[in-house]
């Protein structure tokens, strides 16, 4: 099966089909807080039954970091806890050091990472 990569703005993304794997890594914290939930639901809606969402975000555990929306502890997990997803992996922890061009040094970043499978069938999504 061929791999199709779509690189676009989440706000502008209106696919004509759904996908087996949807990645949203280190981008959702750049959305305003009022748009985060809507856009996560959009990622979920365009995921095939038994498909995966792989998501990573920055958290409020980053002192002094400014982004439109830093995720609070457990917030990312909560979007996948409605019974239509199986969370395969979830972690909130320091990532490997990241080189900040603005600060010209290596810094720690606290992030949340989630891998979840969309449940389908009798009790899941139709």
Q: Which residue has the tokens 């600060």?
A: 103
pTM: 0.84
pLDDT of residue 1: 64
Mean pLDDT per 10-residue interval, the chain, length 126 residues:
74 83 92 90 94 96 84 96 96 85 84 96 57
Length of the chain: 126
Taking a C-beta distance cutoff of 8 angstroms, is the pair 102, 34 a contact?
no
pLDDT (0 to 100) of residue 122: 61
Check residue 72 and give its pLDDT.
94
pLDDT at residue 40 in the model: 94
Q: Where are the domains of the chain?
A: 19-118
CATH number of 19-118: 3.40.50.150
Q: What does the DSSP assignment read for 46-66?
A: TEEEEEEEEEEEEBTTSTT--
Task: Identify the pLDDT of residue 59.
Answer: 93
Non-local (6+) Cβ contacts of 99 within 8 A are 105, 106, 107
């Amino acid at each position: 099966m061929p791999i199709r990569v779509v690189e676009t703005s989440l706000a502008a993304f209106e696919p004509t089909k759904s996908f087996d794997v949807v990645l949203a890594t280190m981008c959702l914290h750049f959305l305003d807080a009022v748009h985060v939930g809507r856009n996560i639901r959009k990622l979920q809606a365009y995921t095939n039954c038994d498909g995966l969402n792989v998501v990573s975000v920055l958290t409020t555990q980053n002192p002094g970091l400014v982004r439109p929306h830093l995720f609070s502890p457990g917030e990312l997990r909560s979007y996948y806890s409605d019974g239509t997803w199986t969370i395969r992996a979830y972690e909130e922890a320091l990532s490997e050091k990241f080189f900040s061009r603005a600060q010209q040094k290596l810094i720690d970043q606290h992030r949340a990472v989630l891998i979840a499978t969309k449940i389908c069938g009798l009790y899941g999504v139709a």
